[in-house]
Amino acid sequence: MTIGLRLAMACVRTWTHLYTAGLPPNIRRARRAEIDSDLWESLADRTSALHLMVRLMSGLSDDVGWRVEHAFTFGTRRFTLAGQLLGAALVLCATGVIQVDATRKSPHARRAGVSSPTQPTFDAASIKLNTSGLPSGNDKVLPGGRYTSTNLSLLVLIRFAYDPSPRSRALTPVEVEGGPSWIRSDRFDVSATAGRDVALPELRAMLRTLLAERFHLQAHFETRQLPVYRLVLAQSNTLGPQLRRTTADCASAPLDPLRGITPGESYPCGYFGLSPNVAMNSGRAYQAFRGMTMEDVALRLREFLGRRVIDGTGLVGYFDADFEFTAEIVMPPPPPGQPNPYDGRVLPSIFSVLPQQLGLKLGSQRGPTEILVIDHADHPTPD
């Protein structure tokens, strides 16, 4: 790691520690962990110090907006003064980084999928073409750093591998573009193991390396102004009748975005799936989440709405909710041998369910969204 890159990462961490200061510990830790994860991915992608500083500067307004949304816990004048002092420090940081890194090549776009000696790799991996013709597939992250997928397209694998958030499942289809048509139609089985337990960001990095090696995948991220949703309270300081604060201690429970969902089974923290309070065959279709922050809820809604969802509720802490299935949320299949009680039902829209039952609403606007652009992909080399 170069001196310039060390300095740039120190600047990012200093800024993060300032604008999260004074927030509740769980919110503060979650935000700082998210930034550390992003820095780790930048290091794995061999991002330059200059590029890291450009990203920091361009994201300052979003960071300040995030801090305002989570409410001040110390005086506005104190925050403003601290921001002015930090602004001066960031200018000095940027000057130092530019000086140290002046002779280094600095690509403007963050490259993804280019293999390098510093990128983590699986101990063993197999990729085979799936010719079963089945309409759907699945993937699993298992203990011991194991990843398996069955009958999935390369596009689905890419969406999982390149999601930058450690708290969400995958990029949405609209967040990936480009590439040959076969990456959406051909299906593959993947079996890979790291030979040890690894965190989700590292496993994703291993999968990116594997896709680069076997599919010669090359891609890059671009930031564009696209339609997004903003999740806010329908009425100021008022929760809906079916949204409540959780009684579980979720601040110390890590969120697992890949947790398997079993109908009728509930988790006190981080659960999003069928409501454990309503039987599948009752004729009532209810969804639920347990022990989730509004930021995490926004991430899950992104998967169904196909747009980035920004948390603007100002709600801090963890919440539980039960709400009707909506036309936008994909219905899970019933257990084997049971008829689907919801066939033919006209489901309500999420835009009416959220305000009525949870006291939340989605507003449409435009905002910065990272898009993964696929530059190149070949059919996989044989095992």
Low-confidence ranges of the chain (pLDDT < 50): 73-78, 80-81, 100-110, 113-117, 261-264
Specify the pLDDT at position 71.
56
In this predicted structure, what is the pLDDT of residue 327? 86
Reported as a single tens digit per residue, the pLDDT across 210-249 is 999 999 999 999 999 999 999 999 998 899 999 999 988 8
Q: Note the pLDDT of residue 125.
A: 95
User: Residue 255's pLDDT is what?
Assistant: 62
Provide the pLDDT for residue 91: 52
pLDDT computed for residue 16 by the predictor: 80
Task: Please report the pLDDT score of residue 8 as a whole number.
Answer: 77
Per-residue H/E/C for the chain? CCHHHHHHHHHHHHHHHHHCCCCCHHHHHHHHHHHHHHHHHHHHCCCCHHHHHHHHHHCHHHHHHHHHHCCCCCCHHHHHHHHHHHHHHHHHHHHHHHHHCCCCCCCCCCEECCCCCCCCCCCEEEEEEECCCCCCCEEEEECCCEEEEEEEEHHHHHHHHCCCCCCCCCCCHHHEEECCCHHHHCEEEEEEECCCCCCHHHHHHHHHHHHHHHHCCEEEEEEEEEEEEEEEECCCCCCCCCEEECCCCCCCCCCCCCCCCCCCCCCCCCEEEECCCCCHHHCCCEEEEEEECHHHHHHHHHHHHCCCEEECCCCCCCEEEEEECCCCCCCCCCCCCCCCCCCCCCCCCHHHHHHHHHCEEEEEEEEEEEEEEEEECCCCCCC
